[in-house]
Structure formats: structure tokens, C-alpha cells
Amino acid sequence: MARNKFDIDENLESPFDIRHFRRALVYIRKQQTPMIIAFILSALSAGIALSAPLIIQHVVDVTIPAKDKSGLVFWSALTLATIVVSVVLATIRSRIMTSVGQDIIFDIRTDLFKHLQELPFQYYDDRPQGKILIRVVNYVNAVSDVLSNGIINFILEILNLLFIAIFMFAVDVKLSLVILAGLPVFMCVILLIKTRQRRAWQAVSNKSSNLNAYLQESISGIRVTQIFTREKHNEGLFTRLATSYRDTWMRTMYLNFLIPFSVDNLATIVTTAIYFVGLLALSPGEVTFGVILAMSSYAARFWQPILNISNLYNSFINAVAYLERIFETLDEKVTISDVPDALALPPIQGRVTFDDVTFAYDPGHNILEHLSFDVRPGESIALVGPTGAGKTTVVNLISRFYNISGGQIRIDGHDISEVTLKSLRSQMGIMLQDSFIFSGTIMDNIRYGKLDATEEEVIAAAKTVCADEFIREFEDGYMTEVNERGSKLSQGQRQLISFARTLLADPRILILDEATSSIDARTERLLQKGLNELLKGRTSFIIAHRLSTVKNCDRIMYVADKGIAESGSHDELMALRGRYYKLYTAQKMETSA
């Protein structure tokens, strides 16, 4: 998949690989019972419908010449009955297959969503979200009909073609050969355009994916767009992508309509040839008018399955390309997962040990090297230093959002790589700078990390972080509905709600990554009082650029040069007059100025 680019086509051009279809059979087998019933109903419907031309032949050649009025009524009623029964069976079959198709969509989409929930942060950092979404929505929709209706229809059309041929030759061999004479011409048309048609549909998918990726990016960044008045420029980008999609679609439709155009014209030519051969070339004793009518009807029916099979084949080849992308996502490695026989981490005290830890996001470019330190239970640790030094990386490693390259990280003596992720992260509270608010009520957002929390517990957490006051100012209080990302809330309010959400989980280890960056100084002072009480007895890691907020921590670690350059209390580091001293002094001078 293209990395962070909405204007680069995904390469869907690949040779046919039956393995993807075999994997898809897992979803098909779950629906085999209703599919078998639908197949039987379809076969019965098709068989009954094929009897209509024979009835017409009998009526024209026998009943009408004999002036048999009662027979005419009987055969007319029988013809009507065949039509009604065929329609009823086809309707039942259609309802069954609609349900089957939706069940297949549900199963594939559920597996995709479940897998996406488990993929590491880096997967999403490297890919446009729009191109991930289109696999879960559009691509799954594209393959569902082929995996359900497509398989049954393909088999039915083959059988239908065989039945029609049997009926045709049973009525008249010579006129049947006239009908088959157009088949080589049609095969030449298919061979000429099938590759171009497949590539054209793949191009449509690419342009749709690009458009979807840019649309998602534009909606997410609409505030920045309006701040910098980029509306006209972005409109131009969108127009270019939409125009490319429209042009590609029109070229694809041109190719797509060549097949029905060819079939319609060949069917017309063949039907004309039947009348010509039947009425002019053959003697009256060889063929009756009823036979000619029956054969012209079979000619129309014969070419329809051929058209359907060619369309199904093209859809099948395209679906395999989509399946490749779906299974590519499902095959994406979950690099952060429980090891075999992983143990549940028992209730922890909060001792954290880094033992000779080395880490790199990209091989060969270490962010941390041979990092070692030990944190006692209940100790508060501040991580400070220049941007990009690795402060956030350290706390991400504690939560095991990434696997380390070397060394060992232990909590209460347990190697975190050998315990279950759920038991590890459930005992941690992580507050990030980017506070994400989900659509729903404020109560739901605070309760997100602890679904069984009572209203009293939610309100207590909100009071601790000084969020209760502004929440009660809303007309519906804690039941106030907020939109995705909390568009009704200020950045500071979103952070306070996220704070309450983190604290409600009652973690033993608390991680605050620039958690107070969007809160005003007055609220921060009030919040600090609550935090001081909350941090008692908990191990905490606090990342902050404003050093005044961390000067009271038990220990301050200055992260630089791929490790801990300085470590100690505020007073100890100030006395050392090293990097921390220079940074703190510079900030104090800026504040004074």
C-alpha cells in the first residue's frame, strides 16, 4: 500500500492466484446450507422456464391448427403457471442469497476490524487512513456478491447453457448449428478486450481509493484548511482526483458495454439467420413455423448465459485482486502480541526496571541504546529533554506499544514481553497530549476505560481533575452529547475529560505525556492539587516541556544522546549545573521576560 500518499495508485495488477480464492472458501463454507438450497431453487426455476418454448411450439404446430380451444386454454394456463412458479422460486432464491451475501460481508469485515484493532501504532503511521477504510468497506462489498451469488450463478449459467443446448438440438439440429455459428466471433471479442477490461476496473478501484484517502484527510484537517485559507487549492486537488476517477470510469464503461453490444448484435444476427435458413434454405417438410419460433426463443436464451458467464468471469478476476488486498491486510503481522504461554501480570506494586534496553523504529537507527534505570514503587519520574530525544519512546516501551531491540523491561520483576498485554495495560493509566474524544456523552467518554464504573466514581474522577465544574455548566451535564473528537469542547476541556478517563481506571502506573499542555495556568494549579493526592502510592512518569510543573517530582531524568544524560532531584540537577540547569534557567528567563 502507498505510504502516506493519496495521489499514488495502489498496484492491483497481479496474476491470477487461486490461493486467495481458496482462503475465501472459509467464508463460503459457513453459508453452504443456504447456498445449496438457493442452487436447487435456481435450477428448478431455470428448468421450468425452459419448458415455455416447447409449449409455444406445440401450440403453434398442433393446438392452433386443430382449432382445439380447450387445449389452447390449458396450454395457456400451463405457460402462465410456469412463469409464476419460476418467478416465485427465483424470488425465494434471491432473498436467500441476499442474506448469504450480507453474512459473508459481516464475517470478512468483522475479521478485518478485529485484526485492525490489534495492529501496532506503526501500521497506522505508515498508511493513509482512507486507503485502509476502502479495504474494509468498498473491497469487501466488491467481493461479497462474487463469493455468494457469483459462484452459484456461474454453475447455474453453465448448466443453463447445457440445458438450452440439449433442448435446441432436441428440437432441430441444423438450426442449432446456426445458433452456435456466432460463438467463435464472440470468443474473439472476449479475448481482445478481457485484459483491457480487467485493468480498466482496477484503475477505477485505484482512483476511488485515492479519492477516498484525500477526502478522509481533508475532513480530518478541515480546521487547518480554513485557518490557512486553503479551500480553493484543496478544491483544485479534489477536482483533479475526481476528474481522474470520472475519466477512468467512462473509459471502463466504454469497454464494459462492448460485451452486451456484441451479444445483442450477434443474437440479432443469429435470430435473423434462423428465419432465413428455416424459411428459405430448408424445405417446408424439414421445419415447421412452430420449430422456427421455438428456436428463435432458444437463440435469445442461449446468448444470455454466455453474456452472464463473461461478466461473471471478469468480476471473478477482479474479485481475486480485491481478495489479495483484503488478505494482505489480514496477513499484516501483529508484531505486538502475547507470546505463547504468556502469563497474566498479577496486581503490581509499580517497580519499573530498564535493563540495557536498545530500541529503534527503523533498523539501524537506534533511538535508545543500552538504557538502564530502576524506579521504585510510588516514585514520580519526570522525563525532560530536547524534542525527539526519546522521552515519549520510553513511556511507550513501558506500555509495550513497541517491542525493544535488545535488553529487558521488567515490572515488579516480570519481563513485560512474557505477560499478556491486557493484564499489563489494564494496570496502567496513559494520558497523551492528543486527547481523543469519542462520539457519545461525556459520561460515556470518562467511563470508556472502566465500563463498570458507577456515576459516583465518574463524578469523583472528574472532580479530582477539576472537570466537574465546567461539565455541570452544560445543560445536560454529564449526559451532554459530544461529537467525534469533541468538537463542542475546548482543547483544555478535552484534556481534562481524558484525564478523568485515565484516572478512573485507578492505575498503579500513571503515564502523563504533556498531559497539561492545553490547560490554562489557573486550572493547572487546581489540577496539580488533585494530582498530588492521586500520585501518592502510584508510580508515575511525567513528560513536560514546562519544567515548573515537574520540579517537585522525586526524580528528573534528562533524556539525550540515546539515553539518560542526567538524573536526580530538581535541587541535585540545579547544583550539578549541567544540561537540566541550562534548560531550566533558560525557561525561567523566558518566563520572566
Contacts of 182 (CB under 8 A, 6+ apart): 266, 267, 269, 270, 303
Measuring CA to CA, which residue among 249, 268, 245 is closest to residue 257?
Answer: 249
Round to whole Å and give the CA distance between 485 and 499: 15
Name the residue ranges covered by the structural domains of the chain: 18-330, 339-427+549-593
Q: Check if 18-330 and 339-427+549-593 are the same fold.
A: no
Question: Is 381 within 8 Å of 572 (Cβ atoms)?
Answer: no
Q: What is the DSSP string of 148-210?
A: IIIHHHHHHHHHHHHHHHHHHHHH-HHHHHHHHTTHHHHHHHHHHHHHHHHHHHHHHHHHHHH
Round to whole Å and give the CA distance between 478 and 455: 9
Distances (CA, A) of 21 to 16, 108, 321, 327: 10, 13, 10, 10
pTM equals 0.65
Round to whole Å and give the CA distance between 549 and 384: 11
Q: What is the CATH number of domain 18-330?
A: 1.20.1560.10
Average pLDDT by consecutive 10-residue portion of the chain (593 residues)?
56 58 82 86 79 78 82 86 86 84 87 88 74 81 77 78 80 81 80 76 79 81 77 88 90 80 79 76 67 77 79 73 80 85 91 94 87 93 89 90 92 93 87 76 87 89 85 89 73 80 84 70 63 76 81 91 93 92 86 66
pLDDT at 13: 46
3-state secondary structure of 223: helix
Q: What is the CATH number of domain 339-427+549-593?
A: 3.40.50.300
Question: Is 45 within 8 Å of 352 (Cβ atoms)?
Answer: no
Round to whole Å and give the CA distance between 445 and 500: 9
Torsion from C-alpha of 421, 422, 425, 431, nearest 10 degrees: 120
Biggest alpha carbon distance in the chain? 122
Round to whole Å and give the CA distance between 511 and 502: 9
Question: Is 205 within 8 Å of 198 (Cβ atoms)?
Answer: no
Round to whole Å and give the CA distance between 394 and 357: 10
Distances (CA, A) of 111 to 96, 104, 116, 337, 528: 23, 11, 9, 17, 44
Contacts of 363 (CB under 8 A, 6+ apart): none
Burial group, residue 95, by CB count within 10 angstroms (0-12, 13-18, 19+): exposed
pLDDT at 419: 93
481: DSSP letter: E
Q: What is the DSSP string of 553-590?
A: SSEEEEEETTEEEEEE-HHHHHHHTSHHHHHHHHHHHH
pLDDT at 411: 95
Note the Cα 392 to chain centre separation in Å: 29
Question: Is 444 within 8 Å of 387 (Cβ atoms)?
Answer: no
- Residue whose entry in the numeric block shows the C-alpha cell 498496484: 11
pLDDT at 379: 92
What are the backbone dihedrals phi and psi of residue 344, each rounded to the nearest 5 degrees, phi first?
-75, 130
pLDDT at 123: 80
- Residue whose entry in the numeric block shows the C-alpha cell 511525567: 542
Residue 411: which H helix or E strand, with range?
strand 406-411
Round to whole Å and give the CA distance between 138 and 211: 13
3-state secondary structure of 64: coil
pLDDT at 2: 43
Question: Is 400 within 8 Å of 416 (Cβ atoms)?
Answer: yes
- For the chain, the straight-line distance linking the first and the last C-alpha, in angstroms and rounded, comes to 50
